Every structure is written in structure tokens, then in C-alpha cells.
Amino acid sequence: LIALPWPLPAVLTWAAAWALCGLLWHQQAPAWLALALPLAMGVVLAFLGAQGLRRRLLLGLGFPLSAAATGLTAGMPAWSWLLLLAPLLLLYPLRAWRDAPLFPTPAGALKALPARLGRRASVLDAGCGLGDGLLALRDAWPHARVHGIEWSPLLALASRLRCRFATVRRGDMWASSWAGHDLVYLFQRPESMPRAWHKACSDMDPGAVLVSLEFEVPGQQPIAQWQTPQGRSVFAYLPVADTKAFSTARSPRR
Ligand SMILES: C[S@@+](CC[C@H](N)C(=O)[O-])C[C@H]1O[C@@H](n2cnc3c(N)ncnc32)[C@H](O)[C@@H]1O
């Protein structure tokens, strides 16, 4: 879907949602189901079939808005609009919001990594979302083992399907070790960076590099810093096994 010229992905998503709605209606499914299933399908296709927030909103909201406009939702109880939240929560469990909502790494954003950081044999995208970071890492190092971990079950599944070359696990990046990789890549939030630094210092092997798109680690000097073709900053850090920093983070001094 994503490879089709715009606006074909939107037209096909809306048509598929309406076809499913018509089928369920014809089978005399309950009205709420005939609306909820096409809606959920539209949300999933919005994440798989388009890039960028605006296009995803267009794909995902096309069916519910047109259903409301045609009066199909008239008579539905007001709470039924909460059904909108169900597919969203499935796609995006609350814990994932705390670290970063879904903003994919732009294509080609990590092309400069090998020139800056040399060869890397095993790389991890912590919070791999839909797999755009995995694709960018594979572009940078075609021969590296590429790993991803993602909290949202649906996004982890999408990543796995899109990036067959990578090993993608569904799980919490904070609860899994970052050892064994010679580069860990993050595209999270500014608030997550101090925690990421402490984890990198405690888990990562000597010589392994922590790379962050857009957000720097406060108070730490990057070993390299540059701009992507899209004008975003990339920061690379060499975590040090700093037991004091780590124990201070875990058990603050009184
Ligand atoms: C800004 S997106 C980046 C996606 C991907 N790394 C990329 O660059 O294309 C951040 C991702 O981190 C995931 N995430 C947030 N907290 C997480 C956690 N504790 N464990 C695993 N994944 C998490 C979110 O679900 C989201 O998919």
C-alpha cells in the first residue's frame, strides 16, 4: 500500500473499510460491529499504508467521518465513539506514550553513520515502531545483524512483517538488556534521554555507541554530531561504565 502513488492508499483504505462495513451489514452483524471493525482496519492500514501524520490521519479518519456524515452513526450511543480509542490503545499501549509517540525515522536519515562510526556488526533500535529505524540501520550497514524491540504488539508485528531481515521482539526496552550490540539507536523523547544514558552506561559493552536522533543526552559530550539531509540532529555517545552515575540514578543520595 505504502508504495502506491498518493492518494491511492487513502482511496483503497476507505473503499476497503466501506466494503467490510457493507459485508457486515449484509450479514446482519450488530451495527456497532459493522462500524468498529472497518474503523479498526482503517487505523491499522493508516499505520502500515502511509508515512507522515497527516496522511495517516486521512487514512484512519476517512471511514468514521464519512460514516458520521452519511448518518450511519445516528442512533449510536455516545459512548460508542470510545470505540475509536480501542484500536488506538491496541496500537499504542499507554506505556509507549511515556517515552515517545510514533514518529518514524525519515528514510536516509542514518546514511552518514558508517562514515562517522565505522563498521558495526550488531545494532539495536530500542523502540522500533513501524520499522523505519530498522530500515535506515540496514541501509547504513547492510551486513550488520539488525535487532528491534517494541512495546506495542501491533507495531512490533508490523515491524516484523516489514523488516524480515531484522529480529524484532515485543517488549519493554527498559527491561531488556542492551548488551551484546555495538550500537543502540534511539528516537525517543528529550525526557527519556537521562534514563537512556544510565541504562547505556550500565548495559552496553565497551566501545559500543549510543546514537540518538534529534535528542541529546543532557550534560554529556557526544563523540560525534551531525545533521541528517532532513535537517535533524544526530548525536553519538560512548557510554562509560560509570557505576557512580548508575548507582546515583537508582538510589539517590540523601
Ligand atoms: C518515535 S518512535 C520511533 C520508532 C523507530 N525507532 C523509528 O525511528 O522509526 C518511538 C517508538 O518507541 C516505542 N516505545 C516507547 N516506549 C517503549 C518501551 N518502553 N519499550 C519499547 N518500545 C517503546 C513507541 O511505541 C514508538 O513506536
Query: Length of the chain, please?
Result: 254
C-alpha span between 60 and 46 (Å, rounded): 5
Closest-CA residue, ligand 1 atom 13, reads 127
Cα of 195 vs centre of ligand 1, distance in Å, is: 15
pLDDT on residue 19: 94
User: What stretches in the chain show pLDDT beneath 70?
Assistant: 53, 72-102, 242-254
pLDDT on residue 244: 45
pTM: 0.68
Taking CB atoms and a 6 Å cutoff, what residues make up the pocket around ligand 1?
A: 95-96, 99-100, 102-105, 125, 127-129, 132-133, 149-152, 155, 172-174, 187-188
Taking the mean position of all CA atoms in its chain, how far away is CA 162? 12
pLDDT on residue 87: 61
Closest-CA residue, ligand 1 atom 12, reads 127
Q: Which atom of ligand 1 is the closest one to the Cα of 102?
A: 2
pLDDT on residue 128: 96
pLDDT on residue 77: 62
